């Protein structure tokens, strides 16, 4: 059984009435709930817990970590970023949601600024599935429509995804690579654009389905455990 840990800043929901109304127990609980329904063993962790809730033990037991951050990226300690990066390289999956494109963890794993264009105007978004053979699209139609979304637009400063799964159209004239798969070390990383602290995007069944599919895809496989450092020859040398 796959263990998914949902991490959240959990600040907006305590400080802003509009956010609290949408996600009274925090966005992490909303995500954890639908992932539990999907059949995962689900936990949560938040910024203001000791070690941001991400102790060595928690990470060791986590197969896939989901990351939501927005306003407090800078408050995440370098030590925890190091720890999460190391655990991803060791095989843990990572799902980076919406504004977490700017999280330290994602920037660390990408090596780029992860900048983009944005606009908060409640415009329509349509995510087109461009790679129908990818398991992250299981059960999804040709596109997912979001009636009201924050716009994220290209140029998105990330390395080209190893697989581009979704490409977004926005009412205001922009496009975005909104479902991006990467491998880092023995771990898999999926960036998924949709989400917002006030639009009810994580209530939408197709979005929940994609995130569930992504957890399954990103769960560690049982591949070789690479050894590094000095090594004797496997064949006789001249």
Q: Is 90 helix (H, G, I), strand (E, B) or coil?
A: coil
User: Least separation, in Å, of the C-beta of 153 and its own copies?
Assistant: 7
* CA 60 – CA 96 distance, rounded (Å): 19
Choose which of 49, 51, 55, 130 interacts with its own copies (CB under 8 A): 130
Site residues for its own copies, 203-222, by CB under 8 A, read 220-222
Total binding residues toward its own copies, as defined by CB under 8 A: 79
User: Least separation, in Å, of the C-beta of 51 and its own copies?
Assistant: 22
Contacts of 206 (CB under 8 A, 6+ apart): 140, 141, 144
Which tokens sit at 75?
A: 């408050």
- Closer CB to its own copies, 57 or 225, in the complex: 225
* CA 43 – CA 214 distance, rounded (Å): 16
Choose which of 15, 48, 82, 138 interacts with its own copies (CB under 8 A): 138
Choose which of 153, 198, 200, 204 interacts with its own copies (CB under 8 A): 153
Residues paired with 170 in a beta bridge: 125
Choose which of 17, 50, 74, 229 interacts with its own copies (CB under 8 A): 229
Interface with its own copies includes 154 (CB under 8 A)? yes
Interface with its own copies includes 102 (CB under 8 A)? no
Site residues for its own copies, 38-97, by CB under 8 A, read 85, 89, 91
Question: Near its own copies by CB under 8 A, which window of 22-30, 44-52, 54-62, 129-137?
Answer: 129-137
Residue 171: closest CA among 118, 122, 123: 123
Interface with its own copies includes 115 (CB under 8 A)? yes
Contacts of 159 (CB under 8 A, 6+ apart): 110, 111, 112, 182
Site residues for its own copies, 167-196, by CB under 8 A, read 167-175, 177, 182-188
Hey, what's the torsion of the CAs at 20, 26, 30, 33, to 10 degrees? Answer: -140
Residue 212: closest CA among 202, 220, 221: 202
User: Least separation, in Å, of the C-beta of 222 and its own copies?
Assistant: 4
Choose which of 20, 124, 200, 204 interacts with its own copies (CB under 8 A): 124
Interface with its own copies includes 200 (CB under 8 A)? no
Contacts of 2 (CB under 8 A, 6+ apart): 40, 41, 63, 64, 215, 216, 219
Choose which of 156, 191, 192, 202 interacts with its own copies (CB under 8 A): 156
Interface with its own copies includes 232 (CB under 8 A)? yes
Residue 186: closest CA among 99, 97, 87, 100: 87
User: Least separation, in Å, of the C-beta of 43 and its own copies?
Assistant: 23
């Amino acid at each position: 059984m796959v263990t998914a840990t949902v991490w959240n800043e959990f600040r907006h929901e305590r400080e802003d009435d509009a956010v609290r109304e949408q996600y009274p127990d925090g966005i992490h609980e909303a995500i954890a709930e639908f992932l539990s329904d999907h059949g995962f063993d689900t936990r949560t962790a938040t910024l203001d817990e000791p070690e941001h809730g991400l102790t060595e033990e928690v990470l060791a037991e986590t197969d896939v970590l989901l990351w939501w951050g927005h306003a407090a990226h800078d408050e995440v300690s370098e030590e925890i970023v190091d720890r999460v990066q190391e655990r991803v390289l060791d095989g843990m999956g990572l799902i980076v949601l919406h504004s977490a494109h700017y999280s330290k963890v994602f920037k660390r794993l990408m090596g780029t600024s992860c900048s983009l264009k944005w606009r908060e105007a409640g415009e329509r978004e349509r995510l087109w599935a461009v790679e129908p053979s990818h398991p992250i699209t299981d059960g999804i139609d040709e596109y997912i429509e979001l009636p009201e979304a924050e716009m994220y637009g290209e140029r998105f400063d990330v390395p080209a995804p190893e697989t581009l799964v979704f490409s977004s159209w926005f009412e205001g004239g922009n496009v975005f690579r909104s479902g991006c798969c990467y491998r880092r070390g023995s771990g898999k990383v999926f960036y998924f654009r949709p989400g917002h602290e006030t639009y009810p995007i994580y209530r939408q069944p197709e979005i929940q389905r994609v995130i569930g599919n992504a957890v399954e895809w990103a769960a560690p496989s049982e591949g070789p455990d690479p050894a590094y450092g000095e090594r004797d020859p496997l064949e006789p040398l001249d």
